């Protein structure tokens, strides 16, 4: 695990090297993905069936591409009662939070008599990609589907790979709880192609959300424009700012909660106490020795983990430097396990989600807090936000002129159109102003 000290002369270079390191797979998948997309666009179901046989090892037919709705209900009924209750409790909290995000329409008449406004409408359909390989995440079904349903999306389509033909029952149960309308047994770039272009069995959607591997990410990148996408998601990451008043085991577990996602995940600790950092490292090793996902988490922790030692988390000058440091890292998840968490959070500009205080572990956000856990990674929190209701909506401008308001603002439009050499633009306004005759 790398250690950087803010007081060292080479700190800035070390931080830059850490942040610029490529953690995702460097293999160039563009050409392969382009071929898969073209195949599905041209051949539809036949391509989906052939690609599923090749990559997932089982045979489909047009009739078995879709998971029957009864299977979703049956999966929910077969869940352990406490698991189903937890899914429903999480779903209720997620829905409650996202209902508060629904934007209000805007409609007013300005001082010159022009009616202006905005109308928000949900997308008609959305696709949700849910990974189904090394791990399956029913929580991600809720975190993607519920914002869409809350926005008013009428048709929500889920695609998830089922290697060997076996669907994860918890994923199906989550789809049932979240109100997903259609579920298909396809994964990879071919699933993104089916959602974007459609097939004989699958009707295309307007937007695609959800994480996936390098092929899925590249496919989303290439179909953008045909459909909307939420974001290009990279490996998980967490930044924990913690003082020595925390239990080292708590902070170690928080760091490993992201490291266990994938070997390319990243966990960073910022503290002002080197002895505390050592204690956290020791606890991390102890937890790893007992973890079923130790192989993945240990590789992530040792290759990508980092401890940053700063001078004083509580001192005012250091706090300013700390904010600059946090904003430079722009983490997907930011835990502020310190006394002044609220004050620090108010200064942070770049973070996907901020967890306030010592009793708010990131895992609460992953499952039951309410905001979607689909968040910007790889420093993209500098310019993007986590998934929400607004991602499944679009707005239309409203503009209305009467005779007086057109007379008030129309002449300026004519002048600007003529300045741009757009004579028809100018004419369309001037005719209504009575300045030109047909």
Active site residues per annotation: 332-333
Exposure of 1 in the CB half-sphere (CA atoms within 13 A): 23
Strand order across the 393-400 sheet: 106-109, 115-122, 393-400
Q: What is the 3-state secondary structure (H, E, C) of 148-162?
A: HHHHCCCEEEEECCC
Number of H helices, E strands in the chain: 17, 14
Q: Which of 317, 85, 36, 378 is nearest to 196 (CA)?
A: 36
Q: Give phi and psi for 24, each to the nearest 5.
A: -75, 165
Q: Which residues pair with 228 in a beta bridge?
A: 207
Residues 259, 390, 67, CA angle at the centre, nearest 5°? 65
Residues 390, 95, 336, CA angle at the centre, nearest 5°? 80
Q: How far is CA 423 from CA 352, 405, 413, 427, 438, in A?
A: 47, 22, 11, 6, 14
Strand order across the 2-5 sheet: 2-5, 306-309, 266-271, 237-242, 333-337, 353-356
* Burial of 337 per CB tally in 10 Å (0-12, 13-18, 19+): buried
Tokens coding 99: 């209902």
Q: Which of 124, 102, 121 is nearest to 389 (CA)?
A: 102
Within a 10 A sphere around the Cβ of 208, how many other Cβ atoms? 27
Q: How far is CA 259 from CA 47, 234, 263, 338, 353, in A?
A: 36, 13, 7, 22, 17
Helix (H) / strand (E) containing 321: helix 316-329
**What whole-number distance in Å separates Cα of residue 94 and Cα of residue 372?**
7
Phi-psi region of 434 (alpha: psi -120 to 50; beta: other; left: phi over 0): left
Q: Which of 255, 228, 260 is nearest to 242 (CA)?
A: 255
Within a 10 A sphere around the Cβ of 173, how many other Cβ atoms? 24
């Amino acid at each position: 695990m790398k250690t950087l000290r803010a007081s060292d002369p080479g700190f800035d270079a070390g931080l830059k090297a850490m942040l610029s390191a490529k953690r995702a797979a460097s293999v160039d998948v563009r050409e392969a993905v382009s071929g898969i997309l073209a195949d599905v666009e041209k051949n539809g179901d036949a391509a989906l069936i052939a690609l599923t046989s090749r990559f997932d090892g089982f045979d489909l037919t047009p009739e078995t591409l879709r998971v029957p709705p009864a299977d979703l209900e049956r999966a929910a009924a077969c869940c352990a009662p406490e698991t189903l209750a937890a899914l429903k409790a999480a779903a209720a909290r997620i829905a409650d939070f996202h209902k508060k995000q629904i934007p209000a329409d805007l409609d007013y008449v300005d001082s010159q008599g022009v009616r202006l406004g905005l109308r928000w409408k949900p997308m008609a359909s959305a696709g949700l990609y849910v990974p189904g390989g090394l791990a399956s995440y029913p929580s991600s079904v809720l975190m993607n589907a519920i914002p869409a349903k809350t926005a008013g999306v009428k048709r929500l389509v889920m695609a998830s790979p089922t290697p060997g033909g076996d669907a994860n029952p918890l994923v199906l149960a989550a789809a049932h709880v979240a109100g997903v309308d259609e579920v298909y047994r396809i994964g990879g770039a071919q699933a993104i192609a089916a959602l974007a272009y459609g097939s004989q069995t699958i009707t295309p959607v307007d937007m695609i959300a959800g994480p996936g591997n390098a092929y899925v990410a590249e496919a989303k990148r290439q179909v953008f424009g045909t459909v909307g996408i939420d974001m290009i998601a990279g490996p998980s990451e967490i930044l924990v700012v913690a003082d020595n008043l925390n239990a080292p085991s708590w902070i170690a577990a928080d760091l490993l909660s992201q490291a266990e996602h994938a070997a390319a995940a990243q966990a960073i600790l910022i503290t002002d106490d080197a002895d505390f950092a050592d204690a956290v490292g020791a606890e991390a090793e102890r937890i790893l020795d007992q973890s079923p996902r130790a192989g993945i988490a240990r590789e992530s922790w040792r290759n990508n983990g980092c401890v940053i030692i700063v001078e004083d988390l509580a001192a005012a000058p250091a706090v300013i430097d700390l904010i600059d440091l946090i904003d430079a890292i722009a983490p997907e998840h930011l835990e502020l396990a310190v006394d002044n968490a609220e004050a620090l959070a108010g200064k942070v500009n770049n973070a996907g989600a901020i967890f306030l205080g010592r009793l708010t572990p990131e895992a609460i956000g992953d499952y039951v807090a309410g905001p979607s856990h689909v968040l910007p990674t790889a420093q993209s929190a500098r310019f993007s936000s986590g998934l929400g209701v607004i991602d499944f909506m679009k707005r239309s401008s409203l503009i209305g002129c009467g005779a007086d308001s057109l007379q008030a603002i129309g002449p300026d439009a004519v002048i600007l159109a003529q300045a741009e050499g757009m004579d028809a633009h100018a004419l369309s306004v001037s005719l209504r102003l009575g300045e030109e005759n047909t």
